[in-house]
Copies of this chain bind each other. A is one copy, B any other.
């Protein structure tokens, strides 16, 4: 397999638009066309103007004319579109998504996509904190991890998803959907909620003169698209809850060390610093 054929992208926010831009800019005969749709017509027009699509679709069902359908909406809509379009997929057509919570999506795909057609859960780990098609930067896909969660073990899905990820310049990481959700709750979903909580707490500051660079960094993730974050948090609520409890225990541990004295807290912070450096340079 050397071409994705006709591609449809449903959802032209930051991720959908950057995927379209990357596919259209990919060298070789990898894509026949990229068609796009979003229920927000302004976002759809912006995707076209950013060269994220060759043409726009009149509605999501027109994606059924394509060989590969990429769902890049918030998670709840991904599940809804999977239920709507999945049963109508023909043999050789493939459905993939880019949502940040995977178990609900993969289950919907298992239930709705007929044997013969392909389906795979996907999650590109990239994106800046500013939402929307105007923030789409296809360079962020280069070298990024693109998690793939198997729906069924079929060569069609595997080949198509591998080709797509390769054309984006990303690297495949295969994970079980529930394992993905457990890990991403800790690495991403909880940090999004914490940034929002710290932003809310900052409302108690009486003057913007107290906004430090540390605070700016701590609230940066809260600048993400609220609909997108709400959707993946709600789709992964039990794991996010468990991660929140773990954060509480870690903070209790650090406060207990602080109560014992600086000489107890500093080694804990040094361990965290070394880990933060590992995360930062990767």
Q: Interface of A with B (CB < 8 Å)? A: 74, 76, 125-129, 140, 145, 171, 173, 183-184, 186-188, 190-224, 226-227, 229-231, 233-234, 237, 240-241, 243-244, 246-248, 250-251, 254-255, 258-259, 261-262, 265-273, 275-280, 282
Partner among B183, B194, B198, B275 whose Cβ is within 8 Å of the Cβ of A206: B183
Residues of chain B lying within 8 A (CB to CB) of residue A217: 129, 191, 217, 220-221
Q: Is the CB of A201 within 8 A of B258?
A: no
Centre residue among A209, A223, A279 by max chain B CB count within 10 A: A279
Please measure, in the bound complex, the distance between the C-alpha atom of A233 and the C-alpha atom of B145, giving whole angstroms.
36
A145-B209, A194-B218 known; A200+B277 contact, CB < 8 A: no
Q: Which residues of B contact A279 (CB under 8 A)?
A: 199, 202, 208, 211, 215-216, 219
Most buried by B among A218, A224, A255: A218
- Which of B191, B254, B259 is within 8 Å of A215, CB to CB? B191
9 interchain pairs, CB-CB under 8 A: A187-B214, A190-B198, A193-B255, A194-B194, A195-B272, A196-B276, A214-B221, A226-B269, A234-B262
How many Å lie between the Cα of A219 and that of B214 in the bound state?
A: 11
A220 to chain B: closest residue by CB: B217
| A183 and B210 contact, CB distance less than 8 A | yes
- The answer to whether A258 touches B277, judged by C-beta atoms less than 8 angstroms apart, is no
A237: which B residues are within 8 A, CB to CB?
255, 258-259
CA distance A229 to B262 in the complex (A): 9
Cβ–Cβ < 8 Å partners of A76 in chain B: 262
**Is there contact, CB below 8 Å, between A126 and B213?**
yes
Known: A214-B221, A226-B270. 8 other contacts (CB 8 A): A125-B212, A145-B212, A193-B255, A197-B251, A199-B279, A226-B265, A229-B269, A237-B258
